[in-house]
Amino acid sequence: MHNTWKAARLDLALVKPYGKVICFTLLLPIAFAAINRSLLTGVSFAMCFVAMTTAYPFAVEERSDMARLYGILPVKKRELVLGRYLFVLALGVLALVVSLVVQPVVLRALGEPVVGMDLLQAAVGGGILFTLYTVFQLPGYYKFGSIKGRVFLYLPVAGFLFTLLLFPRLPLGSVSLSPVLLVGLGVVLVIVLYALSIWCSVRTMERKEL
């Protein structure tokens, strides 16, 4: 576990040059929330945008030829993969927290009411969207790299279009779930999907020669 934390910190160091871009990515969805007057839409956009930054560590690795460095480090391939997933999850949680704190303030300032259930739905919906993007992106990057696997970079664009064009038309108002059940289903779905995604990434990484 100690090496996993170190791998995650290494990824953080790798993306430091992209710090301003990531901060801009975290703040830009606030404008969409204000324009659409919807917390759920704003959080969904935030998850879409931040998921597109998951390619940064892979891109830096390829550009800097860090495979040799990984080959001599006393770290297992599985730990490198888990560290990468830990870093991506931390980035997603940061984006979700920033969105759930800042966007309601902006919406209330614009006269839009935001209640507890709105926050819960936005948190669960945003978390699931981020999960759906990254569980496919990361194995794709491990398999093909950031250049050949560039198509995975634009996977969140499909989510962007979905939230912008189709999501508002879905009859969600007729669906009634208790908050506990909603959170429970969301957590179970996230755990299962990430477990499968990590398994695929570890298998791909172990077949590669560092």
The per-residue pLDDT for range 44-91, each reduced to its tens digit, is 888 988 998 898 888 888 887 777 777 777 788 898 899 999 999 999
pLDDT tens-digit map of 136-175: 999 999 998 888 888 888 888 877 777 667 655 555 544 5
- Integer Cα distance of 86 and 80 in angstroms: 10
What does pLDDT average to over the chain? 85
Q: Residue 193: give the domain boundaries.
A: 2-168+177-206
Higher pLDDT pick, 66 / 29: 29
Taking the CA atoms of residue 202, residue 147, residue 127 and residue 110 in that order, the dihedral angle to the nearest 10 degrees is 160
Number of domain units in the chain: 1
